[in-house]
Structure 1
Amino acid sequence: MNLYQSLGHLVLGSRLRRLSEAFLSEINKAYQTAGIDFDASWFPVFYLLSKNDALSIKELSEQIEVSHPAASQLITNLKKKGLVGTDTCSDDGRRQLVTLTEKGRDLLKQIMPVWEAISQSMAELVETDETIKQLLPAISALENAFRQTKLADNIVQKLNTNLKPAGQ
């Protein structure tokens, strides 16, 4: 058992980050091998824009569950690459609507077969082990638990309870 496995919940975030980084690295290698200039971190935006003609930055940030500044930074980077464009919303001048450019739509056509291959490959991998089959349901359950529980408050409460001198 390695250090990370032995420390259990104390390093949950570190283990999830390591797993995420390893997964995204493999996905990026697949794009590179296929000769496609695409970064896996762009996936949520491309996926949502493949299903919607246009979305505001606020809508994107809400759907991909990142802060508005983080979504805005991602959109800015994709604009610099010429993959998305923004236009002011006709009924609300404060809203910027994001759309795929022609270059972005061309890239989308290239990456969609990769997405299908990723889905197939992961489905095959998941079938190799009963425990792996529980991963996505377990992650969903943990995400829901975090939405319903203020973990930091619970930790502080336990600290305050455990730090009180005896007799109080």
Structure 2
Amino acid sequence: MKRHPDSEALGTLLRHVLELLDGDVAKVYQEQGLPEYRPRFSPIIRALVAEGPMSIRDLAEAVGVTHSAASQTATQMARAGFASHSTDPGDNRRRLITLTPKAQALLPTITAEWDATSDAMAELDAEVSMPLAGLLTEVAEAVHRRPFQERISAAYERQATSGGSS
């Protein structure tokens, strides 16, 4: 019998689900002859296809990740030959991330995988009680409204004043 993470250990469960999904997407890229391609590259590539060369700050904002995460991903993409860094002609202090010819040539394969993943996600969503993307969006919005740290601190205070755990 396959064991699943404790449903009370939410961080572990989220990481487990992400590992399952990303791991299988990575296997598809491997099957397509792209072993160096990572699922985390896709949002960056999509943004660069839509907007053209972008700074790390603009990429981070476009895909909804931290500056550090966007920078790390862009560096990994450059090492794998999918992106290049260049100086912004309008501002020498800024670096622009651009898709390489290798990435441009692979766009049909990458796009086909995006489409297949979207179809597979729709199939998975039909099997569960609520579409995963919708639920995760709701959770992110709720945590932006009231950070989780604030919620934990309030719960901790309630426990302390009630004399024990709930």
Q: Could you list the runs of 5+ residues in structure 2 that have no partner in the other structure? A: none
How far does the alpha carbon of each residue in 1:4-59 deviate from its partner, in whole angstroms, 9 at most, with x for none?
13x3xxx1221111000000011111111222232112111111112121111101
Q: Secondary structure at the match of 2:96?
A: strand
CA separation in 1, counterparts of 2:4 and 2:77?
39
Summarize deviations over 1:101-142 as a string: whole Å, max 9, x none: 101111222211111111122222323x351x4332221111
Counterparts of 2:64 and 2:124, CA distance in 1 = 27
Distance 1:73 1:3, change over 3 A: closer
Which residue in the other structure is 2:147 paired with?
150
Q: Which has the higher contact order (CA 8 A, sep 6+)?
A: 1
What's the TM-score, normalizing by structure 1?
Answer: 0.83
Q: Write the mapping of 1:1-168 to structure 2, written as runs, cut at 5 A.
A: 4-5=6-7, 7=8, 11-37=9-35, 38-127=37-126, 129=127, 131=129, 133-164=130-161
Structure 1: distance between partners of 2:5 and 2:75: 39
**Structure with the bigger percentage of helix:** 1
Give the TM-score taking structure 2 as reference length: 0.84
Q: 1:136 to 1:91 in 2, by over 3 A?
A: same
Pairs aligned (count): 160
| Alignment check: 8 A CA contact 1:36 1:111 kept | no
Max Rg structure: 1
Alpha-carbon distance between aligned partners in 1 of 2:112 and 2:14, rounded to the nearest angstrom: 27
Q: Is the 2:5–2:13 Cα contact (8 Å) retained in structure 1? A: no
Q: 1:122 to 1:165 in 2, by over 3 A?
A: closer
Listed as ranges, the gaps of 5+ residues in structure 1 are: none
- Deviant stretches of 4+, over 4 Å: none
d(CA) in 2 for partners of 1:2 and 1:45?
A: 31
